Each structure stands twice: as structure tokens, then as C-alpha cells.
Amino acid sequence: MGGLLQDSQHLIWGMHLEKDKFLPWLSHWLVVHKHYFYPCIFVLTNFVFEHHIITLTKPSIVSMKTTTYKQFLQHSDQHFSEIKQRNSYSFRCGLGCHECCLPDLTVLTLEASSIVQYLLERPELIETLSILEKEDPHKGTRCTFLTKEGTCGIYAVRPFICRSHGAPIAIAQEDYYHADVCQLNFTEKPIETLGPEDFFILDEWNEELLSHTPSEERIPLRLSNLLKGTSDL
């Protein structure tokens, strides 16, 4: 429960963020801890913010069955690419945009292990990222892997949550989906007009991600935390 209580403190911190920064952060937080807090938080977010309630056909028409974590990431990249291709004029995402690269995200040990393996093969990158974390050019407002230039230091092995940034997301309720999207995207096309193929339905994607690991333990997405836990991964 220690980690859960700590993350509830993160929620209190997150509520002080501006709306455009809070919504992506909250979406991630809800998916991680929805079994504990989701009913009450869902009411709160709909009272304070204008979120979208949409009805999509269940189950999702997005077919997904991957045999490896690597294949899962490839599938998520393909899904994002297809969404963007169908709605190219609705995306403002691009190199240098980092509105979604918020601090205090967590990753599964499976994702952490993949990142650590990538870094251990590149000791010079570890040194560069260590300096970056200490200098903290974004003053705690962005992910510690975000460079001064606004690019991702671990882009090739970024976790699933980062790969879905910018695309419409949906979280399943009993008979509908709670949907959201970065406020910079889909400003002229309401996401209510989209079909389920144009969403990352997070419950389904997270279920598939968890099928590749027996552990639901999560690690802070920070270089120091990842390297510290290397021997346990």
C-alpha cells in the first residue's frame, strides 16, 4: 500500500497542474489505480472538467494478440500510425512538442527491463542522461528523459504510455467509454465522431501488455530509479 499512498499524493499534486497538463497525467494515473480510486475520481473529473462520454461498440474492433513485448510495441506503433494517417489534419504532434511528457510516470518492470537493457548497451548514453537528470532543464515539469531540445532520450524504447500520447484514448465503464485527447489535437474534429478503431482503448491495451509479464509492480520512469533496480529486473 505504500506505493499506492504515495501515488495518491501524486494525485493531489497533479490537481494543481493546469488543465492541459493535468488531463494526460490523470488519464495515466487512473489506468494504473482505477480499481482503488476510479469511481470517486471519475465523478470529480467530470464535475471539474469537460471530458467526453462516448458510446463505442464493445468489444473493441481493434484485433490484438501479440506473442512478445517487442511485438506489442510494434503493434501499438502501427495502431498510432493508422490513427494519425486517418486523421492527419487533426494531429499537431511533432518533434519538439512535449506537452504529454509529464513527470512522475511509472512503468511496469517489463518496460523498465527493456529500457535498462538498451541503456546498458550504451554506457555513453547513461552518462549523458545522468547529467540531464541532475541538471533538470525543465525544472521538474517534464520527464527526466526529455532533453533540453525537447526530444526523448530513450525514444527507441519508450514505454507504451508514451507511444499512445497524442492519440484519442478511452477508458471502459460499464456500458460506455470515458474518452479524452490532448487539447492540441482534434480541435476541429470532435472525438465523439470517431470510431473505436481511432482510439487507444486503454483497458484492452493494458490487459495485453500485462499478458507479457507476471508482475504488476511499477517503477518510476526516472534514470536513477531504473538503474537502481537493475539487479531486480
Q: Which domain holds residue 164?
A: 53-232
Question: What is the average pLDDT across 93-102?
Answer: 90
Distance CA 140, CA 90 (A): 29
Residue 12 covered by a domain: no
Residue 15 covered by a domain: no
Residue 117 or residue 36, greater confidence: 117
Q: For position 46, what pLDDT does the model report?
A: 32
- Looking from the CA of 95 toward its CB, the CA atoms found within 13 Å total 2
Rounded (5°) CA angle 32-101-12: 50
The three-state DSSP-derived secondary structure of 167-223 is: CCEEEECCCCEEEECCCCCCCCCCHHHCCHHHCEEHHHHHHHHHCCCCCCCEEECCH
Distance CA 95, CA 166 (A): 12
For residue 13, pLDDT over 90 is answered with: no
For residue 93, pLDDT over 50 is answered with: yes
Strand partners, 177: 54, 172
Rounded (5°) CA angle 14-206-169: 60
pLDDT above 70: percentage of residues in the chain: 70
Residue 13 or residue 126, greater confidence: 126
Residue 6 covered by a domain: no
Under a CB-based contact definition with an 8 Å cutoff, are residues 150 and 48 in contact? no
Residue 176 covered by a domain: yes
Distance CA 140, CA 152 (A): 15
Residue 21 covered by a domain: no
- Looking from the CA of 61 toward its CB, the CA atoms found within 13 Å total 7
Report pTM. 0.74
Question: What is the average pLDDT across 94-123?
Answer: 94
The structural domain count of the chain equals 1
Under a CB-based contact definition with an 8 Å cutoff, are residues 111 and 118 in contact? no
Max Cα–Cα distance, the chain, nearest Å: 50
Residue 123 covered by a domain: yes
Residue 91 or residue 38, greater confidence: 91
